Amino acid sequence: MSEVILKGLKKVYDNKVTAVHDVNLQIADKEFIVLVGPSGCGKSTTLRMVAGLEEISDGELYIDNRLVNDVAPKDRDIAMVFQNYALYPHMTVYDNLAFALKLRKTPKADIDKKVREVAEILDITQYLERKPKALSGGQRQRVAIGRAMVRDPKVFLMDEPLSNLDAKLRNQMRAEIIKLRSRINTTFMYVTHDQTEAMTLGDRIVIMKDGYVNQIGTPQEVFNRPVNLFVAGFIGMPVMNFFDNCRLLKENGKYLAEIRGVKFLLSDFQQKALTQNRAEPCEIVAGIRPQHVTVGEGELSAKIEVSEMMGSEYNIHARCGTDEVVMLIPTIDLTADVSMGKTVTFTTKPSLIQLFDKESGHNLIWYDEESAANDAPVCKTYTF
């Protein structure tokens, strides 16, 4: 068992700046959790507190049911992969991999066996005698991962390990990490600012902003049911389209969303959620993902400003009143004329519309089952 529990974890620096506010997180054994958010959101600080590289100002940290707040990093049974690889430049790959084991006075034969085993898994056996500077970025990253692997840690921490790689290599290494995870089968905490990495790697994603956790959920959950405007805008590529100055209406006991004068009768799920959250007719920001826009139908219209042919699909940037709308249209489905300057009609399924409170930014149709059972409007409990 290598469960990690963060209970009210807080980090306040000497200059009174609070980097992390009250993070509560329970990471199950062998779970791959990804902390994602923009720069300065506190994700790396949270990871470093788990690693023991930052002192915990308040709260409790448990690894494998053991309170480790005051336990030295080396005794937490964790390993970390750093953004800059942090390989020892004067040591060969072999020595880099063996270093932690040597410090632990592991017998030489065991070290050799372990190092070669890990090198085999990571396909770096042929580089064992090389120094890090003679390796490519991807190979260095493998060595960095290998250095963590040789220790058989309970928890594997990764701090933006792919950030220094080019786009192609990053995609390759992402796939490698997925394969690796299935082989070594331990608990992972992974920090990234790249939502694609978060979506593809994580069993669950923790989305952070300004030191607060905004949402925790599976990739599907955070994509389909973002808790607020920030999460909706951060997760998904291209970014969700937001329509300002829309309205939530209630007619004949049913909720409707009015976007640019067009009314959409919301789905049963949305009706239930809005009722659960005791939503009243109000001004809202409507969100529609570019993937959910249907072009050539409906009553909404927009003037095309840029049309990007991406091969399998078109990315269309259009102007709908004051809002910019991005639409993704598979090339194969394209029937409308999408050249620049043309006006196109578009619509979406009402069930795919997200409704955000204009003032607080909360998603009015977001709630969790637990809150529903308690008859409580959960989104109101979040403070940002």
Partner 1 sequence: MVLAAKKDSGTSRTDLPQGPVFQNKKLKAFKENAPFLIMIFPAVLVVFLFNYLPIYGVLIAFQDFMPGDKILSDTTIWVGFDNFKRFFSDPQFWPLMKNTFLICIYGFIIGFPLPILVSLMLNSLKGKKTAKFLQTIFTAPHFISLVVLVGMLTLFFGRYGLVNNLVASGGGERYSYFLETGAFRPLYILSSNWQDFGWSAVIYIAALSNVDPQQHEAAILDGATRFQRVIHVDLPAIMPMISVMLIMSIGGLMGVGYEKALLMQTDGNLAVSELVSTYVYKRGLTGVPDQAYATAIGLFNSIINVVLLIIANTTSKKFSENSLW
Q: What is the binding site for partner 1 (CB under 8 A)?
A: 51-53, 73-74, 78-80, 82-84, 86-91, 99-100, 103-104, 147
Output 52 or 219, the one with its CB closest to partner 1: 52
Closer of 143 and 378 to partner 1 (Cβ): 143
Q: Which two tokens stand for residue 13?
A: 């620096």
Nearer to partner 1, 90 or 183 (CB): 90
DSSP 125-156: GGGTTS-GGGS-HHHHHHHHHHHHHTT--SEE
- Shortest Å, Cβ 322 to partner 1: 45
At residue 103, the 3 state secondary structure works out as helix
> Residue 14 or residue 370: which is nearer to partner 1 going by CB?
14
CA distances to 37, 76, 96, 108, 127 from 143, in Å: 26, 22, 8, 20, 9
Report the nearest approach of partner 1 to the CB of residue 20 (Å).
18
Report, in Å, the least distance between residue 90 CB and partner 1: 4
201-211 exposure pattern, b = at least 16 Cβ within 10 A, e = fewer: bbebbbbbbbb
**How many angstroms separate the CA atoms of 76 and 286, rounded?**
46
Contact between 99 and 150 under an 8 Å Cβ cutoff? The reply is no
Q: Are 123 and 44 in contact (CB under 8 A)?
A: no
| Shortest Å distance, C-beta 213 to partner 1 | 24
Considering the complex, state which of residue 96 and residue 354 has its C-beta at the smaller distance from partner 1: 96
Q: What pairs with residue 256 in β-bridges?
A: 249, 265
CB 85, min distance to partner 1, A:
8
**Which residue, 14 or 280, is less far from partner 1 as judged by CB?**
14
User: Do the beta carbons of residue 264 and residue 256 sit within 8 Å?
Assistant: yes
320, 319, 338, 340: which is closest to 328 by C-alpha? 338
Q: Which is nearer to partner 1, 86 or 336 (CB)?
A: 86
Q: Which tokens is 186 given? A: 């331990």
CA-nearest of 93, 85, 87, 55 to 71 is 55
Residue 48 beta carbon to partner 1: minimum distance, rounded to whole angstroms: 8
Closest CB to partner 1 among residues 90, 278:
90
> What's the closest the beta carbon of residue 226 comes to partner 1, in angstroms?
33
Q: How far is the CB of 34 from partner 1 (least distance, A)?
A: 20
